[in-house]
Structure 1
Amino acid sequence: MSESGHSQPGMYGQGRRRRRRRGDRDVGPPGQNLSGPSRDRDYQPRERRDGSEDPPGPLIQKTPIILAKPPGERAKPSQNTPVSGTPVLEKPIMLMKARDDGVKPGTPTESAAQSSGPPSKIEREGQRPTQPVYQIQNRGMSASASSSALDPMVGQSKLLPPEKMKHSIKLVDDQMNWCDSAMEYLRDQTDMLVVGVIGLQGTGKSTIMSLLSANTPEEDQRSFVFRPQTQEIKERGGNQSTGIDFFITQERVIFLDTQPMLSPSILDHLINNDRKLPPEYNLPHTYVEMQSLQIAAFLFTVCHVVIVVQDWFTDLNLYRFLQTAEMLKPSTPSASHDSTGSSGSDDGAEYYPHIVFLQNKARRDDFCPRNLKNMHMVVNKLMAHSHLKYKGTLSMLDCNVFPGLGQDYLTTEVNMFLLPVQENDGEDNLTKAGSGTYPLFSLLPGYRGHPAFSTMVSKLRSQILAMPRCQLSHTILTEKNWFHYAARIWDGVKKSSALSEYSRLLC
């Protein structure tokens, strides 16, 4: 009785004190637990150990959220907690997190944490990451760049061949203005060959350039990339090409077809149509001659090979024109401050292209070895004082056109090539020659004295494409760099003081 009597008042007294605590908020004597029911007693030592005081106002029971979270998510809020008001950037821990953690790889939280930041402890310790290696390497790239780098369609498009041209486009129009339409067909690579052509009117420049670039003699001439003269234009003595036409092949060979040099049809068009001349030119024939010199000087600066086409041997005025264009040729631009692209060339060295003299519509007598030797001797004497590379790089003897001649037959072999008349133009003459008083000749093919026209064109094409590709400037040029370089040269040619002074002396 005594024990139960002593214990009961204590229990009732404690219950009354608890009720006063809840209602009247009286604070009991120290040493007694007045914070709530008996289930809250486990938390009372922690609060005492932390030294925190009871907050004023009604007591709000704290939900143990932190204790209920897994370890992986419990560490995340501590990273974003600001220290002294400065936010701490989130580290890409989820990118490098091991598989034994609570968070699975590939979750949205992990992909969001993949953005940027220093490597985690797991990466420094050499453990294998859960993400592929290419994702780790592309952490600093933007989303668009990484997606395009991983897109297989983008990779296949880079391996596709360049766009094939179907016809020529203008590089310089009939008003002598530069055109930018050729830029889309050029690439950033340096293995290219630039071939230009000049010649008098009606010599077959456009036809030869079409056969060298993309067409065959059997095709219709109306489908040639450089359109030749039509029959109507031939009958009225007109010219087909104006300015400079551009075409690039799949083998990265750039062909430049030009208007005829010293063309009488262009002069006639200027006079009869009352076209206004530029203010620096007073006479139409001076303007036509200066146009021709500008085009020739331009080709001598931006081309590896320049083909000079003539349909009879030979016109001395054409050689005088070549020497004048060489004299007025703009000097090679000096090397820039970055001389890393120069390949051993001196800064003071001038660039001169290779010149090929093409004898088009050659007769059968021109293929006689004696006549061929005489033509080489004449060209060698006319070009003796020229800096143009006119000999030593193209040979008809190497083409096996003259199988009985030795290599020492032509001591000074000039870059000269002979093209015969096309078969469709010479069939009548061959038929007449074969159907004479000797009936046996009618059963045999006519004697040509040279291989067929298509064979000669094929040999010429192989010789032209094998020409040395010298460095055009003091720096190595890509196709796109060549385009900008050519635009700069053309602008310099039009504003050249030497050409202006020469035109003034012509008046």
Structure 2
Amino acid sequence: MSESGHSQPGMYGPGRRRRRRRDRDPGPPGQNLSGPSRDREFVPRERQCCEHMLFQSKPSAPVSGTPMEKPVMLIKPREEGGKSGVTPDAAPPASGTGVTKLEREGQRPTQPVYQIQNRGMGSAASSGAVDPVIGQTKLLPPEKMKHSIKLVDDQMSWCDSAMEYLRDQTDMLVVGVLGLQGTGKSTIMSLLSANTPEEDQRMYVFRAQTQEIKERGGNQSSGIDFYITQERVIFLDTQPVLSPSILDHLINNDRKLPPEYNLPHTYVEMQSLQIAAFLFTVCHVVIVVQDWFTDINLYRFLQTAEMLKPSTPSASHESTGSSGSEDGSEYYPHIIFLQNKASREEFCPRTLKDMHVIVDTLMTHSHLKYKGTLSMLDSNIFPGLERDYLGTEVNLFLLPMMESEGDEALARAGSGTTPLFSLLPGYRGHPSFSSLVAKLRSQVLAMSRNQLSHTILTEKNWFHYAARIWDGVKKSSALSEYSRLLS
């Protein structure tokens, strides 16, 4: 009776159960394999240790036929910065020596599920996934430029300072400008990029001519200046083409000419052709600014630069290829003729039509896209004119003088006398300067962004592509031969 009525501690007691669970020995033949002992056979070793500690803190189970209840685990996953797998919110065991010993030995009581998943993500990241640090950097807003920087300095050398403002994305627009000295190129580019007519001109991103420079007939810009907006539009401001002040500076300061040039005026003209040919290759839009209509020599200069423009680099060494343009493998940008400081008479519809006919006649044989993409009639500047009033509408836009300059001109014309209706605005014959600049900006930014080369370029790729084009322009055999003919 004593042998059958009392269980032997060594066979069925808690000590035996613990040894069988640690050694993973199978239970007695009559034991239910779907019970708690069957579940405990697949418990990880770290969890077994914790259950073992919690088991020791409880009294021994009564000797009965009912299975022992499974202990409740209150262990939470380890925090990233902590070393212990038990958080302060977890209920401490009755005997704290076991957890302390495990922490001292560098073991963790349990293996959190999210760490197992992270290991899987780590293997995926090693096979080509994006690094979280790099991904976070790409999500940061681009750095905003406060002023323009040099892309090409006054010595016609390439500068790399613009690289830090560029990103790895392809949705960009490149706008360049050409024009004679004093036509207002830097002012126009500042108003199209980041400034408003009401701001102080000394705060413009492209520095305009100061009064001192105007009085001595000098030029403000030299080389090529670079500025990129938050909307990822790259603006390139250039030194004046065929500039007399640059020629005067070369002669009076006895500056050394490069060995391939013999005369200063040849060097100045070749500098201008290099800049124009460069813009015709790397820009989506080129704005030609003039302050009176019109200089025939300027159109001859544009056609010469188009003739000496470097060929579009091909993706292969074959002579034929498709670039997506209508002119075969050669790329040509959109060109806009901007009539700055236009008078009231030039806003007359009949005068505007004559100007369109003249520009169309002068650019007939050009491959530059000089018509069909910009319209003054679509801007509602002439509300009474139909679209078919201009037979072939070229990319011509008129801007009047700025309000401050216009008011000074009116004051000089009126000899300082007060008009009869001083509270009413005077009739100008055209919309305000600010509204016209806004209409011009909206149309320029809406220009089609054709593919510059045979491959799609990101901003950083465009920078390397432009550097290669500039180096090719300076070493161009066609430009060297043309320079030899001018000497």
What band does the TM-score fall into relative to the shorter chain? 0.7 to 0.9
Which secondary structure does the structure 2 equivalent of 1:398 belong to? coil
1:193 aligns with 2:173: yes
Is the 1:367–1:450 contact (alpha carbons within 8 Å) kept by the matching residues of 2?
yes
Distance 1:356 1:346 in 2: 19
1:134 aligns with 2:118: yes
The answer for the alignment partner of 1:171 in structure 2 is: 151
1:285 aligns with 2:285: no
Give the stretch that moved more between structures: 411-420 or 101-110. Answer: 101-110
Distance 1:505 1:397 in 2: 44
Is the 2:323–2:330 contact (alpha carbons within 8 Å) kept by the matching residues of 1?
no
The amino acid that maps onto 1:473 is: S
Cα distance, 1:160 vs structure 2: 2.0
Cα distance, 1:110 vs structure 2: 7.9
1:295 aligns with 2:275: yes
Is the 1:430–1:447 contact (alpha carbons within 8 Å) kept by the matching residues of 2?
no
Cα distance, 1:428 vs structure 2: 3.7
Cα distance, 1:155 vs structure 2: 5.5
The answer for the alignment partner of 1:223 in structure 2 is: 203
The answer for the alignment partner of 1:4 in structure 2 is: none
Distance 2:310 2:135 in 1: 43
Distance 1:406 1:130 in 2: 69
Which secondary structure does the structure 2 equivalent of 1:256 belong to? strand
The amino acid that maps onto 2:117 is: V
The answer for the alignment partner of 1:266 in structure 2 is: 246
Q: Quick one: structure 1 residues 146 and 502, their matched pair in 2 at CA, closer, same or farther if it must change by over 3 Å?
A: closer
Is the 2:147–2:204 contact (alpha carbons within 8 Å) kept by the matching residues of 1?
yes
TM-score normalised per structure 1: 0.72
Query: Alignment partner for residue 103 of structure 1, among 42, 46, 65?
Result: 46
Distance 2:334 2:222 in 1: 24
1:455 aligns with 2:398: no
Distance 1:200 1:388 in 2: 19
Query: Alignment partner for residue 331 of structure 2, among 351, 359, 366?
Result: 351
Q: Quick one: structure 1 residues 344 and 227, their matched pair in 2 at CA, closer, same or farther if it must change by over 3 Å?
A: closer
Cα distance, 1:316 vs structure 2: 0.4
Deviations 1:188-226 (A, max 9, x none): 111000000000000000000000000000001111000
Deviations 1:71-115 (A, max 9, x none): 59xxxxxxxxxxxxxxxxxxxxxxxxx97222248779889xx9x
Distance 2:124 2:389 in 1: 68
Is the 1:71–1:102 contact (alpha carbons within 8 Å) kept by the matching residues of 2?
no
The amino acid that maps onto 1:313 is: F
> Tell me, which stretches of 5 or more residues in structure 2 are unaligned?
1-18, 25-40, 48-76, 79-84, 86-104
Q: Quick one: structure 1 residues 208 and 135, their matched pair in 2 at CA, closer, same or farther if it must change by over 3 Å?
A: same
Distance 1:291 1:367 in 2: 34
Cα distance, 1:70 vs structure 2: 4.4
Query: Alignment partner for residue 212 of structure 1, among 188, 192, 196?
Result: 192
Is the 2:322–2:329 contact (alpha carbons within 8 Å) kept by the matching residues of 1?
no
Distance 1:71 1:273 in 2: 96
Distance 1:300 1:146 in 2: 39
Distance 2:187 2:299 in 1: 22
> Tell me, which stretches of 5 or more residues in structure 1 are unaligned?
1-66, 73-97, 115-127
Is the 1:356–1:417 contact (alpha carbons within 8 Å) kept by the matching residues of 2?
yes
Is the 2:174–2:235 contact (alpha carbons within 8 Å) kept by the matching residues of 1?
yes
Deviations 1:18-75 (A, max 9, x none): xxxxxxxxxxxxxxxxxxxxxxxxxxxxxxxxxxxxxxxxxxxxxxxxx999459xxx
Q: Quick one: structure 1 residues 268 and 439, their matched pair in 2 at CA, closer, same or farther if it must change by over 3 Å?
A: closer
Cα distance, 1:438 vs structure 2: 11
Distance 1:327 1:376 in 2: 23
Which secondary structure does the structure 2 equivalent of 1:196 belong to? strand
TM alignment of 1:270-349, pairs within 5 A: 270-336=250-316, 344=324, 348-349=328-329
The amino acid that maps onto 2:364 is: A
Distance 2:386 2:181 in 1: 36
The amino acid that maps onto 2:227 is: F
The answer for the alignment partner of 2:381 in structure 1 is: 401
Cα distance, 1:323 vs structure 2: 0.4
Query: Alignment partner for residue 162 of structure 2, among 154, 176, 182?
Result: 182
Which secondary structure does the structure 1 equivalent of 2:356 belong to? helix
Which secondary structure does the structure 2 equivalent of 1:392 belong to? coil
Deviations 1:428-472 (A, max 9, x none): 444577899997544421110011111111111001001111110
Which secondary structure does the structure 2 equivalent of 1:296 belong to? helix
1:237 aligns with 2:221: no
Q: Quick one: structure 1 residues 141 and 195, their matched pair in 2 at CA, closer, same or farther if it must change by over 3 Å?
A: closer
What is the aligned-residue RMSD (CA, Å)? Answer: 3.2
The amino acid that maps onto 2:245 is: S
The answer for the alignment partner of 1:12 in structure 2 is: none
The amino acid that maps onto 2:45 is: G
Count of residue pairs brought into register by the alignment: 396
TM-score normalised per structure 2: 0.75
Q: Quick one: structure 1 residues 99 and 254, their matched pair in 2 at CA, closer, same or farther if it must change by over 3 Å?
A: farther
